[in-house]
Amino acid sequence: MRSHGAPNWPDPDSQGHFLKTKTNAADFQAPVSAYRACVHLLPNGGELTTAQQQVIAPLMLKLADCMRAHGITNFPDPTVNAGGISVDPRGLDTSSPQFHAAQQVCRKYQTEAGKYMPPG
């Protein structure tokens, strides 16, 4: 990643995982070309395994439920597949104070799910 335009890309932890936190999130900024050049080096080619999907899906559903319970009533259920996880942000005011407050309360589910996601 570093040689493909992401000079601050962090080293993995002792188990080979890349853990993104608030303090190191900027280090994970990389051009799409870097991801494309390096994705083949990830376990399973960067695709989620069935086991990862089975762990991530319930966590992200809890995130969606939590966001709805905290006032973001139109927060969509996530889509989980081998390529990763996505939430369609259309229709969400992600810059509103209400969204940010709900996100702070519910972040624990996203953080836990992120432990099982390939970087990117």
Residue 101 has pLDDT above 90, yes or no: yes
Q: Are residues 33 and 59 in the same domain?
A: no
Residues 9-33, mean pLDDT to the nearest whole number: 82
Select from 11, 26, 41 the last residue of a domain: 41
Shared-domain flag, residues 27 and 57: no
Residue 55: how many other CB atoms lie within 10 Å: 17
Which pTM was predicted? 0.68
Residues 104 and 75 placed together within one structural domain of the fold: yes
7 and 65 inside one domain: no
Same domain, 52 and 108: yes
- How many domains, in total, are found in the chain? 2
DSSP 8-state secondary structure symbol assigned to residue 92: -
56-83 confidence digits (pLDDT tens): 999 999 999 999 999 999 999 998 776 7
Distance between CA atoms of residues 109 and 63, nearest Å: 5
Q: Which residue has the higher pLDDT, 23 or 61?
A: 61
Count other C-beta atoms under 10 Å from residue 107's C-beta.
14
Give residue 114's region: left, alpha or beta (phi > 0; psi -120 to 50). Answer: alpha
53 shares a domain with 35:
no
Same domain, 110 and 81: yes
Identify the pLDDT of residue 97.
96
In terms of domains, do 86 and 55 share one? yes
Q: Are residues 25 and 66 in the same domain?
A: no
- CA-nearest of 54, 24, 50, 51 to 119 is 24
Which pLDDT belongs to residue 85? Answer: 79
Average pLDDT over residues 35-53: 85
Based on the fold, state whether residues 25 and 65 are members of the same structural domain.
no
Q: In terms of pLDDT, which residue wins out, 16 or 77? A: 77
How is residue 46 written in tokens? 């960067």
The pLDDT confidence band at residue 2, using thresholds 50, 70 and 90, is very high
Distance, CA of 28 to CA of 13 (rounded, Å): 14
Q: Is the pLDDT of residue 16 over 60?
A: yes
Claim to verify: residue 96 and residue 74 sit in the same structural domain: yes
- Three-state DSSP class for residue 35: helix
Do 69 and 37 lie in one domain? The reply is no
Mean pLDDT of 77-95: 84
Range of the domain at 33: 1-41
